[in-house]
Structure 1
């Protein structure tokens, strides 16, 4: 397929692997890129020196384009961006912060910039800052989420109508038919998180992968809206958060309950009881742990099959 997204990134398929904390290391990013999509290293769970190692290993593992996702609110972001520039990374996805802070700097270095948003207001702001494309992430998505709770099926056409730059749909997309639906709403690419979180090459702990594929409908909830909204898979920690919220806990109390390195404890170290387990609603549809290339191939073939079925109906 040729469209503005595949041309912008220089990729074969308009499928982008999300830059997920504790899941998106160089192995996953290079596997997705080698399969024709756009692999993304998630810098949100990496110290600068760790990110440097992942970028260098990714460059050795693939000759194809790949990107780095950078949460702008994280401390030390300037060191992360300096490494990205020095290592010649060509594509950066920014999130969780103001795109006006660093978009100009990155564009001056010749880097393609994509910003993740969850509402029209920030889509317009990102476009005005000069980003090349937008990821519009709906309520179904895993990890940090929009406070508005706008679903992907509502968000994509609103963002498409508001901006002129390409829109990449995210949130609840784990199949080819879901990808086709996003395209019907105006998206020119999809960003896929949960489906790649359970890939063989994902750096997520095997315990987390197995818990994802064993999950069922209703096993994820959006929590901590008074702090930073995040979609969590049910476990003892999520239950504790739910109880605290029901009792009226404020942001500071939730922060104390969250503590430090909670996501690492669950997603990377495999503590399924006390860890923070970030995953999307589409986890209820995932049943297998497969290579990233197989996941991408099945999604693309499912997209083509669904499109043919609609055209012939």
Structure 2
């Protein structure tokens, strides 16, 4: 096995926290981050994360059991904070002894962090700002992920490079902070590690791995795409706060605009309240993403991808992707040492 001395030294804190060989998490991608990809990433030394998304507790129960049948290595579960059965899902994680739970999609509701920790799991939260990162840590989060707008799927308004400069110098020395969004090569991983990151999270690079169950047409759409093809959705009504989603431009992005107008009308008419309106939007994305990932409908489905999609050019095993990232990172760190000498 290749030795990545310098990279491993910088990843040591993250690896100890995750219980892995490499501090590389796979971002939770609905319909993609399921038992096959998650177990492959964990077996290759990384940290796979099940995307619970809109799953029921029963479905999550089966998915965790299926993943445990494929790997004895650590893996996590990503839960959406607005899920109406969040606390039931937390109980499912507790039942299976899941070691790490990632809370995404908003500020964790009261009691959720405590419920997860009561089950013995570590809590990882997304922090879009320095102030919120500090608040989440005070509230019990064991680690943070800072994810920039270059990422695929739901995104914030700030780039990864800016978030890293704002948050890592302030929090990384005393806390575990993982960096995500737009990472496609190991040289960038090296840079964030040098800034104090405990590790990194990637989604787009893993979406087309050999072990990914994504439809062949979905993967081909990635191979054809360039960075500028991965665009963020547009909010059409300021009264309806919708988290932007980055996906490859197609008919589905146009259909989302129409969906927003429909939901805004229902909100105006009092047919739904704001919470129900936001869930309606989430259900739209879940269905559109499934059509693309599972059915291969890359025209009207949602082909969620980050701007690093241009670096995804072929289908390859997870173990090769991780080895390439680590080799690139190690070479970058070694070259800097040679220059300094």
TM-score between both structures, scaled by the size of structure 1: 0.91
1:113 aligned counterpart, secondary structure: strand
1:157 is aligned to 2:162: no
Shift in Å, 1:15: 0.6
Give the alignment of 1:163-312 within 5 angstroms: 163=171, 164-225=174-235, 226-241=241-256, 252=264, 260=284, 261-312=287-338
Pick closer, same or farther for the CA change 1:60–1:240 going to 2, 3 Å.
closer
Pick closer, same or farther for the CA change 1:213–1:161 going to 2, 3 Å.
same
**Counterpart among 61, 81, 84 of residue 90 in structure 2:** 81
User: 1:67 maps to which residue?
Assistant: 76
User: Aligned-pair RMSD on alpha carbons?
Assistant: 2.2
How far apart, CA to CA, are the structure 1 residues paired with 2:109 and 2:87? Answer: 14
User: 1:56 maps to which residue?
Assistant: 65
Alignment deviations for residues 165-214 of structure 1 (CA, whole Å, 9 cap, x no partner): 11100001121112112223331100010001111112322211110111
Deviates most, 261-270 or 109-118: 261-270
How far apart, CA to CA, are the structure 1 residues paired with 2:265 and 2:20? Answer: 45
Q: Do 2:179 and 2:199's aligned partners in 1 also have CA atoms closer than 8 Å?
A: yes
How far apart, CA to CA, are the structure 2 residues paired with 1:30 and 1:117? Answer: 26
Alignment deviations for residues 266-289 of structure 1 (CA, whole Å, 9 cap, x no partner): 222211111112110000111011
Pick closer, same or farther for the CA change 1:65–1:258 going to 2, 3 Å.
closer
Q: Do 1:223 and 1:229's aligned partners in 2 also have CA atoms closer than 8 Å?
A: yes
2:167 aligned counterpart, secondary structure: helix
Pick closer, same or farther for the CA change 1:257–1:49 going to 2, 3 Å.
closer
How far apart, CA to CA, are the structure 2 residues paired with 1:103 and 1:20? Answer: 22
Q: Do 1:100 and 1:129's aligned partners in 2 also have CA atoms closer than 8 Å?
A: no
Alignment deviations for residues 105-138 of structure 1 (CA, whole Å, 9 cap, x no partner): 1112211110112222321221111111100001
User: 2:123 maps to which residue?
Assistant: 113
How far apart, CA to CA, are the structure 2 residues paired with 1:56 and 1:241? Answer: 34
Pick closer, same or farther for the CA change 1:309–1:174 going to 2, 3 Å.
same
Unaligned runs of 5+ in 1: none
Deviates most, 26-35 or 160-169: 160-169
- Bigger radius of gyration among the two: 2
Shift in Å, 1:97: 2.4
Deviates most, 199-208 or 254-263: 254-263
2:334 aligned counterpart, secondary structure: helix
How far apart, CA to CA, are the structure 2 residues paired with 1:204 and 1:115? Answer: 26
User: 2:274 maps to which residue?
Assistant: none
How far apart, CA to CA, are the structure 1 residues paired with 2:318 and 2:31? Answer: 16
User: 2:27 maps to which residue?
Assistant: 18
How far apart, CA to CA, are the structure 1 residues paired with 2:118 and 2:256? Answer: 43
